[in-house]
Structure 1
Amino acid sequence: MKKLVSLMTLLVLLCNTALSWGQTEPEEIKPEENKFKDYFFEALKQKAIENYDKAIVALEHCLKMDPNNATIPYEIGKNYLALKDYKNAYSSFEKAHTLDPTNKWFLIGMYDVDYATKDYLDGIKVIHKLIPFDPKFKEDLTSLYMNTGEFDKALNLINELNESAGKSDRRENYKLQILSKGQYQDAEITNLVDQINKYPKEEANYISLIYLYSKKDNLEKVLEIARKLEKEIPNSEWAQVSLFKNYLVNNESQKAINAMNVVLASSKIDSKIKHRIFNEFLNYVNVNPQFSPDLDKAIDYFKDDTTVNVAKEIGKYYHNKKEWDKSVKYYLMSLKKNNPDEVEVNVLLLDIYSQQAQFEKSLKIANDMIALYPAQPQFYYYSGLAYNQLKQFKKAKEMLEMGIDYVVEDIPLEINYNIQLGEAFNGLGDTNKKELYFSKANELLKKQK
Structure 2
Amino acid sequence: MNIKILFSGLALSGLLLYPVVIQAQQQEPDEIALANDEFENNFYEALKQKGIENYDKALQALQRCVALQPDNDAVYNEIGKNQLALRSFGDAERAFLKATQLDPANRWYWQGLYDVYYGIQNWNKAIPVVQKLTQWRKEFYEEDLVSLYMYTMQYDKALVLINSLDDKVGQSDKRAMYRAQIMQDDRFRKPKKESLEEAIKKNPKEESNYLELIYLYSESNQEAKAEEVAKKLEKEIPNSDWAQVSLFKFHLNNNEGGEAAKSLFRILESEKIDRKIKHRAFNEFLIFVNNNPQFNNDLAKAADYFEDDKEVNVPKEVGKFFFTKKDYARAGAYFEKSLAANADDIEAIELLLYTYEGNNQNELLLKKASSYIDLYPTHARLYYFAGVAANNLSQFKKAKDWLESGIDFVVEDAELEVSFTQQLARAFEGIGDVEGSDAYKRRIEGLLKLKKTK
TM-score bracket for the superposition, by shorter chain length: 0.5 to 0.7
The answer for the alignment partner of 1:367 in structure 2 is 373
Structure 2 length normalisation: TM-score? Answer: 0.58
Judged with a 3 Å threshold, the aligned counterparts in structure 2 of structure 1 residues 86 and 43 are, in CA distance, closer, same or farther, namely same
Counterpart Cα distance in 2 of 1:364 and 1:341: 16
Q: Is the 8 A contact 1:384 1:397 kept in 2?
A: yes
From 382, 393, 407, the equivalent of 2:413 is: 407
**Alignment partner of 1:272 is 2:280:** yes
Judged with a 3 Å threshold, the aligned counterparts in structure 2 of structure 1 residues 47 and 393 are, in CA distance, closer, same or farther, namely closer
**Unpaired stretches in structure 1, ≥5 consecutive residues:** 1-38, 58-75, 96-105
The answer for the alignment partner of 2:28 in structure 1 is none
Once the two structures are TM-superposed, the CA of residue 260 in structure 1 deviates from its matched residue by: 1.6
Judged with a 3 Å threshold, the aligned counterparts in structure 2 of structure 1 residues 357 and 231 are, in CA distance, closer, same or farther, namely closer
Judged with a 3 Å threshold, the aligned counterparts in structure 2 of structure 1 residues 419 and 193 are, in CA distance, closer, same or farther, namely farther
Q: Is the 8 A contact 1:335 1:342 kept in 2?
A: yes
Rg: which structure is higher? 1
Once the two structures are TM-superposed, the CA of residue 230 in structure 1 deviates from its matched residue by: 0.2
From 179, 184, 194, the equivalent of 1:189 is: 184
Counterpart Cα distance in 1 of 2:159 and 2:438: 77
Judged with a 3 Å threshold, the aligned counterparts in structure 2 of structure 1 residues 430 and 147 are, in CA distance, closer, same or farther, namely same
Q: Deviations over 1:370-409 (max 9, x none)?
A: 43xx4x543231133345444325523422432455423x
- Map 1:344-383 → 2, pairs under 5 A: 344-354=347-357, 355-358=360-363, 359-368=365-374, 370-371=376-377, 374=378, 377-383=380-386
Judged with a 3 Å threshold, the aligned counterparts in structure 2 of structure 1 residues 148 and 157 are, in CA distance, closer, same or farther, namely closer
**Alignment partner of 1:115 is 2:118:** no
The answer for the alignment partner of 1:151 in structure 2 is 151
Please identify, of 150-159 and 429-438, the stretch whose mean Cα deviation from structure 2 is larger: 150-159
Q: Is the 8 A contact 1:86 1:113 kept in 2?
A: no
Counterpart Cα distance in 2 of 1:129 and 1:401: 73
Q: Deviations over 1:323-351 (max 9, x none)?
A: 655443221101123x3233332222213
Judged with a 3 Å threshold, the aligned counterparts in structure 2 of structure 1 residues 414 and 54 are, in CA distance, closer, same or farther, namely closer
Counterpart Cα distance in 1 of 2:380 and 2:21: 82
Q: Is the 8 A contact 1:311 1:333 kept in 2?
A: yes
Taking only the aligned residue pairs, the percentage that are identical comes to 26
Counterpart Cα distance in 1 of 2:250 and 2:147: 46
Counterpart Cα distance in 1 of 2:355 and 2:217: 40
**Alignment partner of 1:436 is 2:439:** yes
Counterpart Cα distance in 2 of 1:352 and 1:129: 65
Q: Deviations over 1:82-119 (max 9, x none)?
A: 99646688636515xxxxxxxxxx6443x530215653
The answer for the alignment partner of 1:172 in structure 2 is 172
Residue identity opposite 1:385 in structure 2 = V
Please identify, of 312-321 and 228-237, the stretch whose mean Cα deviation from structure 2 is larger: 312-321
Counterpart Cα distance in 1 of 2:445 and 2:209: 64
Counterpart Cα distance in 2 of 1:280 and 1:187: 32
Judged with a 3 Å threshold, the aligned counterparts in structure 2 of structure 1 residues 418 and 174 are, in CA distance, closer, same or farther, namely closer
Aligned residues: 360
Q: Deviations over 1:209-252 (max 9, x none)?
A: 988999xxx9x959668525404522443332443466578897
Counterpart Cα distance in 1 of 2:128 and 2:157: 13
SS of 1:402's partner is: helix
SS of 1:94's partner is: helix
Q: Is the 8 A contact 1:366 1:380 kept in 2?
A: no
Residue identity opposite 1:348 in structure 2 = L
**Unpaired stretches in structure 2, ≥5 consecutive residues:** 6-19, 26-30, 38-68, 81-94, 201-205
Judged with a 3 Å threshold, the aligned counterparts in structure 2 of structure 1 residues 224 and 333 are, in CA distance, closer, same or farther, namely farther
Counterpart Cα distance in 2 of 1:303 and 1:78: 70
The answer for the alignment partner of 1:65 in structure 2 is none
The answer for the alignment partner of 1:230 in structure 2 is 230
- Map 1:75-90 → 2, pairs under 5 A: 80-81=73-74, 85=78
Q: Is the 8 A contact 1:328 1:349 kept in 2?
A: yes
From 196, 199, 210, the equivalent of 2:196 is: 199
Counterpart Cα distance in 1 of 2:160 and 2:337: 51
Judged with a 3 Å threshold, the aligned counterparts in structure 2 of structure 1 residues 46 and 426 are, in CA distance, closer, same or farther, namely closer
Structure 1 length normalisation: TM-score? Answer: 0.59
From 257, 260, 264, the equivalent of 1:260 is: 264
The answer for the alignment partner of 2:429 in structure 1 is 426
